[in-house]
Chain A
Amino acid sequence: DTGVSQDPRHKITKRGQNVTFRCDPISEHNRLYWYRQTLGQGPEFLTYFQNEAQLEKSRLLSDRFSAERPKGSFSTLEIQRTEQGDSAMYLCASSWGGTVQETQYFGPGTRLLVL
């Protein structure tokens, strides 16, 4: 078990460009979550998947954001037409949703800087 992995670890982009991040969850986990974390704050929920179905989205997830988990394994988070306010750490977490008391395990995050 290698844990949750995220790629890339760092991304610098110019305003207006599109970026895509990848998350590979723990292999037996059926739930996958995306969070955003800005400096000095705790992670904020963006969206989550159970298998390939996207079941919940936060109001933080604007139209420029889209997430997919096509085969119920890895997930991608795309941000279109990036803005400076998108600069943050994007965290992925996974869990096994077979019980009520599941806990989420986080990846190392992708730090995005929009210039």
Chain B
Amino acid sequence: GQQLNQSPQSMFIQEGEDVSMNCTSSSIFNTWLWYKQDPGEGPVLLIALYKAGELTSNGRLTAQFGITRKDSFLNISASIPSDVGIYFCAELNNNDMRFGAGTRLTVKP
């Protein structure tokens, strides 16, 4: 079956630094999604990407859908302490959504 690889598994950064994380898939998908999950809460949708090559921003967050439709990245600029959490990529193909294992982000003030 298809595999979704997310990296890095964890990141420790200083407040103000930029962050980049990515996901790759063994299959082509129609939609890439990026979620953030705080401890004890459900994932919250950050950015949805629908077209190959699409670049979308949401405040300090920027995400791109790779041209091959097999990868995506998420960048966070000028990180702040509340960016702490686990970031998940997810692929959506019709009704089938699969998640990466997550990138745990720690921001040191």
Q: Which of B48, B90, B94, B102 contacts A41 (CB 8 A)?
A: B102
Is B95 in the interface zone, CB < 8 Å from A?
yes
Known: A31-B95, A55-B95, A103-B92. Is A40-B42 also a contact (CB below 8 A)? no
In the bound complex, do residue A105 and residue B101 qualify as a contact, i.e. CB atoms below 8 Å apart? no
Q: Which residues A19-72 have CB closer than 8 A to chain B? A: 31, 33, 40-45, 48, 55-56
Known: A100-B30, A101-B50. Is A106-B44 also a contact (CB below 8 A)? yes
Question: Could you tell me the distance between the alpha carbons of A107 and B95 in the complex, rounded to whole angstroms?
Answer: 18
In the bound complex, do residue B99 and residue A42 qualify as a contact, i.e. CB atoms below 8 Å apart? yes
Question: Could you tell me the distance between the alpha carbons of A37 and B45 in the complex, rounded to whole angstroms?
Answer: 16
Nearest CB of B to A2, in Å: 14
Question: Could you tell me the distance between the alpha carbons of A108 and B37 in the complex, rounded to whole angstroms?
Answer: 10
In the bound complex, do residue B31 and residue A101 qualify as a contact, i.e. CB atoms below 8 Å apart? yes
Question: Could you tell me the distance between the alpha carbons of A31 and B97 in the complex, rounded to whole angstroms?
Answer: 13
Q: Which residues B31-86 have CB closer than 8 A to chain A? A: 31, 33, 35, 40-45, 48, 50
Known: A100-B30, A101-B30, A101-B50. Is A45-B44 also a contact (CB below 8 A)? no
Binary interface encoding of chain A residues 96-113 relative to chain B, with 1 for a CB under 8 A from any of its CBs, else 0: 010011111111110100
In the bound complex, do residue A42 and residue B90 qualify as a contact, i.e. CB atoms below 8 Å apart? yes
Closest partner residue, chain B, to A105 (CB atom): B45
Q: Which of A48, A101, A108 contacts B41 (CB 8 A)?
A: A108
Nearest CB of A to B8, in Å: 14
Q: Which residues of the partner chain A approach B33 to less than 8 Å between Cβ atoms?
A: 103
Nearest CB of B to A27, in Å: 18
Question: Could you tell me the distance between the alpha carbons of A108 and B94 in the complex, rounded to whole angstroms?
Answer: 24
Closest partner residue, chain B, to A109 (CB atom): B42
- 5 example contacts (A-B, Cβ-Cβ < 8 A) are as follows A40-B102, A42-B6, A43-B99, A45-B97, A104-B92
A interface residues (Cβ-Cβ under 8 A, vs B): 4, 6, 31, 33, 40-45, 48, 55-56, 91-93, 97, 100-109, 111
B interface residues (Cβ-Cβ under 8 A, vs A): 6, 30-31, 33, 35, 40-45, 48, 50, 88, 90, 92, 94-102
